[in-house]
């Protein structure tokens, strides 16, 4: 019996080791995290004085709402000093010009007097010569050599006049050159001072701070009248609800977590019967960090793990900032009652499409392969009572333009190209005014850094009975390059076009034509650090006749993500009366689109609807039905989608 005890102990020990090993190598299906959001901290890189705070802590604010006003004392003195310097140079220039102009006036008067006197002498000599010649001809045998001598005298007088006038003109030319030489450096000094003044005035305007997104005021650290040092936080703003979860996976636990993976989040304080919040893993840390104190089982025992950032899909959750949550890798309510999104049953996109009436664009019979179409623009034709749909990439054997009915079914393809004429590629937007249709390519360089002629074009044509006629095309890229060389073009527009053209960053995905003016919405570059620019080119008709149009900056709008405050990129726009409806897409790897309404009269922007996991590319409006259609580009291997919805303009009036 005693002989069996030792083997028994060995068996028990081995079982314990395997059990312990298994416990360390088991995969964890959950981990803890803390609900939070990226916070916007308002500070300045220079000392300021708080003039007025328009909000209180905890107050909800809308995007674009003014929340703080400050002033810089050095701006006032700086502007005053610049005005004095500009005035000094202007007076110096005026005094110099007056002095030289006075000398020029005297020389010009002297020149006129000399010309008058010498012309009189020449005329008198010519008269005497004529009388003498007449007398000589009347007397026979008279000496005819005398008039020759007199003619020599006349020629000498004329030469004297010529050289005298030439000498005075040389003095005039010298003074004129001196005037230009003196004025040029003074003008350069004045222009430099005016540029600095404009920058100070811009900074002065920028001292009214607006909310970058819909949210709630956090802390307010300074009151009106108080001085604030550079980079010191004056106020903080965060979104109304937590949008992100920062979780931690223990370093001793194996976790099959991947970027883009669907996860479920539950608050440890909420009712256990509450449905979990769905989210997506946005990023994984590449290092091991120490746990926050709140997530440690024992504050005295160090704990280390890998950070995980989870983005919540639900925009209406009851989580609090800083709340402790539990993140599940599998749906904890699987098998329970209620609606559950399961990747084995349906993708998240299909689920969203079903709930939001977003449907796939289909083709009648075998007109085209729908997975090849990348919807990029759309316009309603009220005469033909159907849509014209753009695909930014050509479908084999056809062009980029298709006829689509109200139900999102493509019934025919249209051909634009004629041999080597009217070739256009990377088409991004389509519009209509009167009986003219316009198609615009992006004017952007390819991924290889090349810009082919077919990516530079703006086309105009007429469309009747499913036939395209009266086609015209212009090189819009060349037109924009020429506009910045026009002396009367606004300096801000010139600077922006230089940035877009020289930096090869230009990308235009939206336009419309109204009252014979062309409006271009730039996807890239931004004006400044975050504003989307819309410019206006006057007289489209003259532009198609080869003339360079006058241009100006029409609107500068900040399209900021309602949740994160990150600047988004303009993908299309539709003007309806005094409202501008804008589509923007995220510039990050996270696919998301937002529909906005911009009040042209008041220059205010309103958030209408968000489309997670979708890339909205085109918008059209049917006036009689007060109905919008939006098309979504899902890439080459997935069918494009569309959404129709009614929207009363009185919502924004």
Give the closest residue to 198 by CA, choosing from 86, 321, 50, 48.
86
Over 60: is that where the pLDDT of 144 sits? no
**Residues paired with residue 266 on neighbouring β-strands, in sequence order:** 326
Over 50: is that where the pLDDT of 350 sits? no
How far CA 268 is from CA of 120, 332, 437, in Å, comes to 112, 13, 58
**pLDDT given for residue 630 in this prediction:** 95
**Residues paired with residue 380 on neighbouring β-strands, in sequence order:** 387
State the total domains in the chain: 2
Tell me the percentage of the chain whose pLDDT exceeds 90. 23
CA distance 122 to 120: 5
Over 90: is that where the pLDDT of 262 sits? no
Per the domain annotation, does 227 fall within a domain? Answer: yes
Q: Are residues 54 and 82 in the same domain?
A: no
The strand order across the sheet containing 592-599 reads 569-576, 579-585, 592-599, 604-612
Q: Are residues 164 and 241 in the same domain?
A: no
Q: Are residues 50 and 96 in the same domain?
A: no
Over 60: is that where the pLDDT of 86 sits? yes
Q: Are residues 336 and 275 in the same domain?
A: yes
Give the confidence band of 354 by pLDDT, cuts at 50, 70, 90: very low
Domain residue limits at 283: 27-62+222-341
**pLDDT given for residue 559 in this prediction:** 93
Q: Are residues 140 and 251 in the same domain?
A: no
How confident is the model over 174-227, as pLDDT tens digits? 888 887 777 778 888 888 888 877 777 666 655 788 888 778 888 899 988 899
The DSSP output letter for 516 is T
Over 70: is that where the pLDDT of 107 sits? yes
CA distance 201 to 75: 8
Q: What is the mean pLDDT of residues 523-545?
A: 92
How confident is the model over 224-236, as pLDDT tens digits? 889 988 889 999 8
Give the closest residue to 626 by CA, choosing from 599, 646, 601.
646
Residue 328 sits in a domain whose CATH number is: 2.40.30.170
Whether the Cβ atoms of residue 241 and residue 321 lie closer than 8 Å to each other = no
Per the domain annotation, does 256 fall within a domain? Answer: yes
CA distance 570 to 532: 7
Whether the Cβ atoms of residue 65 and residue 235 lie closer than 8 Å to each other = no
Give the confidence band of 3 by pLDDT, cuts at 50, 70, 90: low
Q: Are residues 84 and 55 in the same domain?
A: no
Per the domain annotation, does 592 fall within a domain? Answer: no
Contacts 24+ apart (CB under 8 A), 287-293: 288/251, 289/248, 291/248, 292/34, 292/248
**pLDDT given for residue 544 in this prediction:** 94
Q: What is the mean pLDDT of residues 556-573?
A: 89
CA distance 572 to 585: 10
Q: Are residues 227 and 306 in the same domain?
A: yes
Burial of 77 from C-beta contacts in 10 A (0-12 / 13-18 / 19+):
exposed
Helix axes 491-502, 476-483, angle to 10 degrees: 130
Q: What is the mean pLDDT of residues 56-78?
A: 82
Of 341, 361, 396, the residue that ends a domain is: 341
Per the domain annotation, does 413 fall within a domain? Answer: no
Of 277, 310, 341, the residue that ends a domain is: 341
Structure tokens at 349: 């996109």
**Residues paired with residue 310 on neighbouring β-strands, in sequence order:** 245, 281
CA distance 334 to 331: 5
How confident is the model over 108-140, as pLDDT tens digits? 888 888 888 888 888 888 888 888 777 877 775
Residues near 524 by beta carbon (within 8 Å), at least 6 away in sequence: 444, 500, 505, 506, 507, 569
Per the domain annotation, does 393 fall within a domain? Answer: no
Whether the Cβ atoms of residue 292 and residue 34 lie closer than 8 Å to each other = yes
Q: What is the mean pLDDT of residues 81-100?
A: 83
Q: Are residues 170 and 108 in the same domain?
A: yes
Average pLDDT score over the chain: 81
**pLDDT given for residue 398 in this prediction:** 58
CA distance 530 to 386: 37
Please give the full DSSP string across 316-367, using - where no structure is assigned.
S--PPTT-EEEEESS-TTTTSSS----TTT--HHHHHHHHHT-EE-EESTTS
Is the pTM higher than 0.85? The answer reads: no
How confident is the model over 416-458, as pLDDT tens digits? 877 667 788 888 899 999 999 999 999 998 888 888 888 899 9
**pLDDT given for residue 349 in this prediction:** 38
Over 60: is that where the pLDDT of 272 sits? no
**pLDDT given for residue 626 in this prediction:** 84
Of 291, 310, 341, the residue that ends a domain is: 341
Give the rounded distance of the alpha carbon of 488 from its chain centre. 23
Whether the Cβ atoms of residue 276 and residue 332 lie closer than 8 Å to each other = yes
CA distance 281 to 456: 40
Q: Are residues 177 and 265 in the same domain?
A: no
């Amino acid at each position: 019996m005693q002989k069996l005890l030792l083997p028994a102990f060995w068996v028990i020990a081995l079982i314990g080791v395997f059990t312990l090993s298994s416990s360390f190598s088991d995969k964890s299906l959950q981990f803890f995290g803390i609900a939070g959001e990226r916070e916007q901290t308002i500070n300045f890189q220079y000392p300021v004085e708080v003039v007025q705070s328009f909000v209180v802590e905890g107050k909800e604010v809308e995007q674009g709402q003014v929340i703080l006003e400050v002033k810089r004392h050095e701006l006032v003195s700086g502007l005053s000093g610049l005005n004095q310097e500009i005035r000094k140079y202007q007076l110096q220039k005026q005094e110099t010009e007056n002095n030289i102009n006075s000398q020029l006036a005297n020389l010009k008067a002297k020149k006129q007097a000399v010309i008058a006197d010498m012309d009189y002498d020449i005329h008198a000599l010519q008269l005497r010569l004529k009388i003498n010649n007449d007398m000589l001809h009347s007397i026979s045998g008279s000496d005819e050599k005398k008039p020759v001598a007199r003619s020599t005298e006349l020629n000498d007088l004329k030469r004297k006049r010529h050289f005298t006038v030439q000498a005075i003109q040389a003095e005039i030319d010298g003074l004129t050159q001196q005037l230009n030489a003196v004025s040029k450096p003074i003008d350069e000094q004045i222009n430099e001072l005016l540029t600095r003044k404009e920058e100070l005035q811009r900074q002065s305007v920028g001292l009214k701070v607006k909310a970058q997104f819909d949210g709630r005021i956090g802390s307010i650290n300074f009151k009106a009248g108080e001085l604030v040092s550079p980079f010191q936080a004056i106020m903080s703003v965060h979104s109304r609800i937590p949008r992100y979860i920062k979780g931690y996976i223990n370093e001793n636990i194996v976790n099959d977590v991947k970027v883009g993976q669907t996860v479920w989040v539950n608050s440890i304080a909420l009712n256990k019967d509450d449905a979990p919040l769905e989210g997506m893993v946005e990023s994984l840390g590449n290092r091991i960090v120490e746990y926050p104190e709140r997530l440690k089982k024992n504050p005295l025992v160090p704990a280390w793990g890998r950070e995980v950032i989870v983005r919540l899909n639900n925009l209406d959750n009851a989580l609090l900032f800083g709340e402790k949550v539990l993140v599940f890798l599998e749906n904890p309510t699987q098998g329970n009652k209620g609606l559950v999104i399961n990747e084995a049953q349906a993708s998240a996109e299909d689920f969203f499409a079903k709930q939001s009436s977003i449907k796939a664009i289909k083709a009648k019979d075998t007109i085209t392969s729908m997975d090849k179409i990348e919807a990029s623009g759309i316009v309603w034709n009220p005469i033909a009572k159907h849509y014209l749909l753009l695909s930014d990439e050509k479908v084999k054997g056809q062009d980029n333009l298709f006829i689509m009915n109200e139900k999102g079914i493509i019934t025919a393809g249209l051909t634009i190209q004629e041999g080597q004429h009217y070739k256009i590629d990377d088409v991004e937007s389509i519009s209509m005014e009167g009986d003219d249709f316009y198609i615009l390519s992006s004017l952007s360089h390819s991924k290889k850094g090349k810009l082919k002629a077919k990516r530079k074009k703006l086309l105009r044509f007429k469309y009747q009975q499913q036939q395209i006629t009266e086609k015209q095309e212009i090189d819009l890229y060349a037109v924009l390059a020429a506009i910045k060389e026009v002396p009367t073009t606004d300096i801000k527009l010139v600077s922006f076009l230089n940035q877009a053209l020289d930096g090869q960053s230009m990308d235009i995905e939206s336009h419309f034509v109204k009252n014979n003016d062309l409006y271009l919405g730039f996807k890239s570059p931004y004006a400044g650090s975050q504003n989307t620019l819309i410019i206006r080119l006057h007289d489209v008709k003259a532009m198609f006749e080869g003339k360079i149009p006058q241009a100006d900056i029409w609107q500068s709008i900040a399209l900021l993500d309602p949740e994160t405050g990150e600047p988004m990129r303009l993908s299309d726009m539709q003007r309806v009366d005094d409202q501008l409806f804008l589509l923007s897409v995220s510039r990050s790897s996270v696919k998301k689109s937002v529909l906005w309404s911009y009040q042209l009269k008041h220059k205010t922007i309103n958030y209408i609807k968000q489309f997670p996991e979708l890339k909205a590319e085109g918008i059209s409006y049917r006036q009689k039905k007060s109905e919008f259609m939006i098309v979504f580009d899902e890439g080459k291997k997935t069918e494009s989608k569309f959404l129709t919805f009614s929207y009363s303009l009185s919502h924004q009036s």
